[in-house]
Structure 1
Amino acid sequence: MSAKVILKAKRAQPFFGRHPWVFAGAIERVEGAPADGAEVDLVSHGGNFVARGLFNSQSKIHVRLYSWEENVPLDEAFFRNRLATALRLRHDVLKLNGPDAGYRVCFSESDYLSGMVVDRYGDWLTVQFTALGIASRRETIVSALRELLNPKGIYLRTEKGVGKLEGVELHDQLLWGEPPPPDLSILENGMRFLVNLTEGQKTGYYLDQRDNRAAVARLAPGKRFLDAFCYSGGFGLHAARAGAAEVLCLDGSEPALELARRNAALNGLENVAFERVNVFNHLGTLATSGRKFDVVVLDPPKFARNRGAIPEALKGYRRLHQLALKLLAPDGVLVSCCCTGLITMLDLEEMLAQVAVEAKRDVQIVERRGPAPDHPVAVTCRESGYLKCLVSRVL
């Protein structure tokens, strides 16, 4: 019999509404002394079953919810079925499972598996655990993934800060099978990209921008194109292949730029320049020199990991956009990407409006975009909709 977590009075509605995060402040008491990672039943103040989840006293999220059916245990069959449901979206609906494919297999709360991300890169999988309860079931997860996808290897990637937040010690390591080769590559929009599963950022590549890269490339033919925070060259190389007159890719990481150079060579692209710089400083230098571009892509890393950091993050986005408007030629295109989940699309648009007024330039938003569809948003946990992408015309 599962231990019980009893909610405070009038605090059950979000969880009956299938939001998966139960913070400590919503809990009145715990019955049964569950160990961290143990299965528990969430019960309303009136004694009604709400949902079943995994307990962690060390996390601000005391319970992560996975099932709203009272008689369904969180066993191996449960997690296999949840992963199979996630795969049906990617395989049967989105048709992403081609040779050398790269796509997100499972996206945490969006696929009702809070605290776990799984990406596929050809014959290899990367797994990222951000919750103790799921991490403690890694053997169950690996077994299900082997059965469903038959990979050559499964590699664990860790996220900075999770150990402190969740009380779990994790290290990047091979979980099962063969280690990924150093020359592993995937196909994206007809282009081949090398991915570094053991040392690259996130789980090896930014799969979420796949469709945005293709959309922005359609605006690139004949244009002077700037890709700021380019990582392995995604936006810039798509633009170069589409016929951009010139492409400048900027990043502060030499390993990322080396990967970008190799990707350019792999696709036979020569009209691309790569520079290792402090991007903020270099954009200012370019603006001061009078350099102009027809398309500017801003795709910086996450600027805020908690609500207290939001004001400083918005200052960073504001500064980037002030510099971008100075660099854009008339009728230029500005692509504003924001992966900081705590900053909303409305926040991004309001910041852009303020910067446009300060610069005395008219800006028209022509497209609002999000992540590729293998990164869905659960309507009961809209915090899973983290990536924003605005495509704007600057007069």
Structure 2
Amino acid sequence: MNSHPDPKPADPAPADPMTPSDVAAPATAESATLRTKPNRHFPFLSRHPWVLATAIASPRTAAASSSKTSQQKEQRTHEKQDGSLAASDGAIQSSPADQTPGDVDDLAPTVGESVELLDHDGNWIARGLCNPASRLRLRLYSYSRDQEINDALFAQRIDEAVARRRLTPAANLSSAGERLIFSESDRISGLIVDRYADCLSIQFTAAALLSRGPFLIEEVLKAAEKYNTPCARVIARVDAATARHEGITAEQIAEVESWSRGISSPPVTGAGDSSEVISSEADTVWYHHNDLEMAIDLRDGQKTGGYLDQQANHAEAARYMSGRRVLDICTYTGGFALAAAQGGASEVIGVDSSEKALEMARRNARKNSLDQVQFERADCFDDLKARGTRKETFDAVILDPPRFAGARRQVDAALRAYGRLNMSALDLLPPGGILVTCSCSGHVSRADFLNMLVDAGRKRQRDIVILQSRGPSPDHPCAVSCPESDYLKCVIAQVQ
């Protein structure tokens, strides 16, 4: 399971109770406000769940705009004759932004503070939690003036998220892996909850939620019990990338980890090398990943420990692997590789740059008695190039690289990298071979990814026939107001 830009502005929606009115919303002394830059408010009318710092007007600009707008509205109210035209509520704007330019710097919201989002003219749009240290300056949770951001709101959305996973019967509920809460897709931006058998892995990706952390965990446990979801252990975590982007300190990370339950003490450091971290066996959880038994490292595994978003794709890709020699690039703990072996592949080679991940992959292979799988450590680009130089061939090549584009400005470079990977894979495939190629970069659209594949086929003079174009597993829903939540692309194709 992820530096998000604003999507392209949508057409303004018709006025309804959830969109701003033509009258500026009065703000109380307790309400901090932020204004968008001119014409940067359209995505938030469509309920996009976060606001980048680049979309927000500076306090001085907002104050000047507010002063001008207020003067214009006040002038309009004085154009009445004989009291025949009364000033309407909000015609004269009252907001902290109405301070003089010399005062506005003292009005910056603090981390986790509830903030009213206004458009450039002062019309109310939404309400969110602020983080002045983050590029995602404001995470939006309410689009109704009547809905405050409070414990009741989060409790309701946590309950709704877990209930959403029970809309269809779940197989192997006691031992399966699943995503219970998916941040923006479940209207709780900054919170991700995965379940591995009886263990919940809770990841905070927004500093603005940390002050509510213990409460949110309690509500997750309540919802898990209500919907018969096994839960004996909890691990709470903040990954290093999130800490950097959100301005989360080491002390705050330690506090988050202290919210864990039923997990071993923090891992100890090896005597010979201060950088060597030894994880306790208590940090490892076995769960059923489709028909495989898989282990994940709760403390130091990527994301929340595993890649549940690919679970359905592992099973589907395996259907094409019977009798084939398979190369799985960026295998991590062996998801695609082990599924291919279980699906009847004659030989599988899994490649990854992380020795720790490969050790877990080998352990998973032994647990499932899949002797036809071997794992090798190498850089994905270097490995593909070397195999091409040696004229190796495979009946199937699987590409599941990490995210190449963390921001929109990186999309072009990411597409070039995807192109190099896929062209190298095409070099290893004979006519009739199977290519499984994935992208988890949310800023790379599905159309751009497919166009990259077209270009790779053209440059290698190969025809690529798409058998399936897939997304993440069903427990990773997509919010239509947040196109970035439709982040995972998985194409299964035959190459001629």
Structure 1 residue 44: Cα displacement:
4.0
Q: By how many angstroms is 1:279 displaced? A: 2.3
Please, which of 167, 171, 176 is the counterpart of residue 101 of structure 1? 176
1:31 pairs with 83, 93, 96, which one? 96
**Does the 8 Å contact 1:338/1:388 carry over to 2?**
yes
- The 2-side partners of 1:183 and 1:162 are apart by 23
The counterpart of 1:270, out of the listed 367, 371, 375, is 371
Alignment of 1:230-309 (within 5 A): 230-309=331-410
Match of 1:3 among 32, 44, 65: 32
In 2, distance between residues paired with 1:171 and 1:96? 34
Counterpart Cα distance in 2 of 1:11 and 1:96? 45
Contact 2:200/2:235 (8 A) holds in 1: yes
Which position in structure 1 is the counterpart of 2:76? none
1:209-220, aligned counterparts within 5 Å? Answer: 209-220=310-321
Closer, same or farther: CA 368–54 of 1 in aligned 2, 3 Å: same
Instruction: Select which of 153, 158, 163 maps to 1:83.
Output: 158
Aligned-pair CA distance for 1:2: 3.2
CA separation in 1, counterparts of 2:337 and 2:244? 36
CA-based RMSD of the aligned residues comes to: 2.0
1:1-395 residue pairs with structure 2 within 5 A?
Answer: 1-8=30-37, 10-24=39-53, 25-27=55-57, 28=62, 31=96, 33=107, 34-45=109-120, 47-93=122-168, 95=170, 98-149=173-224, 151-169=231-249, 170-171=252-253, 173-179=257-263, 181-395=282-496
Name whichever of 362-371 and 123-132 sits farther off: 123-132
- Identity level (%): 40
Give, in angstroms, the shift of residue 8 of structure 1.
4.8
* 1:294–1:328 CA contact under 8 A, matched in 2: yes
Give CA-to-partner distance per residue, 1:50-80, whole Å, 9 cap, x none.
2221122222332211012222222222111
Q: Does the residue aligned with 1:293 lie in a helix, a strand or coil?
A: coil
Deviation at 1:49, TM superposition (A): 3.4
Taking the aligned partners of 1:19 and 1:290, their CA distance within structure 2 comes to 48
Q: For 2:391 and 2:132, how far apart are their aligned partners in 1?
A: 56
Q: Which amino acid aligns with 1:123?
A: D
Greater mean alpha carbon deviation, residues 33-42 or residues 227-236 = 33-42
Q: Counterpart amino acid of 1:214?
A: A
- Does the Cα contact within 8 Å between 2:162 and 2:224 map onto a contact in 1? no
Structure 2 CA distance for partners of 1:101 and 1:368, relative to 1, 3 Å: same
CA distance 1:268–1:164, change in 2 (3 Å): closer
**Offset of residue 126 of structure 1:** 1.4
Query: Following TM superposition, by how much is the alpha carbon of 1:138 offset from its aligned partner in structure 2, in angstroms?
Result: 0.8
Q: Would you say how many aligned residue pairs link Structure 1 and Structure 2?
A: 395
The aligned residue for residue 15 of structure 2 is none
Deviation of the 1:215 alpha carbon: 0.5
SS at match of 1:42: strand
Q: Please tell me whether the aligned partners of residues 365 and 392 of structure 1 are also in contact (alpha carbons under 8 angstroms).
A: yes
Structure 2: how far apart are the matches of 1:118 and 1:373?
Answer: 15
Separation in structure 1 between the aligned mates of residue 420 and residue 480 of structure 2, nearest angstrom = 33
Query: Quick one: distance in 2 between partners of 1:326 and 1:153?
Result: 46
Alpha-carbon offset, residue 383 of structure 1: 1.2
Q: 371-380 or 285-294, which moves further after superposition? A: 285-294
State the distance in 2 between where 1:23 and 1:139 align: 27
Query: C-alpha displacement at 1:228, in angstroms?
Result: 0.8
**Separation in 2 of the partners of 1:102 and 1:266?**
17
C-alpha change, 1:287 and 1:46, in structure 2 (3 Å) is closer
Structure 1: stretches of 5+ with no match in the other structure? none
Between 274-283 and 327-336, report the one with greater CA deviation: 274-283
Q: Is the 8 A contact 2:50 2:136 kept in 1?
A: yes
Q: If you compute each CA radius of gyration, which structure gives the higher value, 1 or 2?
A: 2
Write the distance in 2 (CA, Å) between the matches of 1:103 and 1:370: 15
- Listed one character per residue, the Cα deviations across residues 252-310 of structure 1 (whole Å, up to 9, x for unaligned) are 11111111111111111111111112222122222222221111100011122223333
Which deviates the most, 351-360 or 152-161? Answer: 152-161
Q: Secondary structure at the match of 1:73?
A: coil
**Distance across 1 between alignment mates of 2:378 and 2:110:** 48
Measured against aligned partners, the alpha-carbon deviations of 1:196-238 in whole angstroms (never above 9, x if no partner) come to 1111111110000001000000001111111111111111111
- CA drift at 1:351: 1.6
8 Å contact from structure 1 (residues 96, 103) kept in 2? no
TM (norm. structure 1) is 0.94
The 1:52–1:231 alpha-carbon spacing in structure 2 relative to 1, beyond 3 Å, is same
Does structure 2 conserve the Cα–Cα contact (< 8 Å) formed by 1:156 and 1:171? no
TM-score by length of 2: 0.75
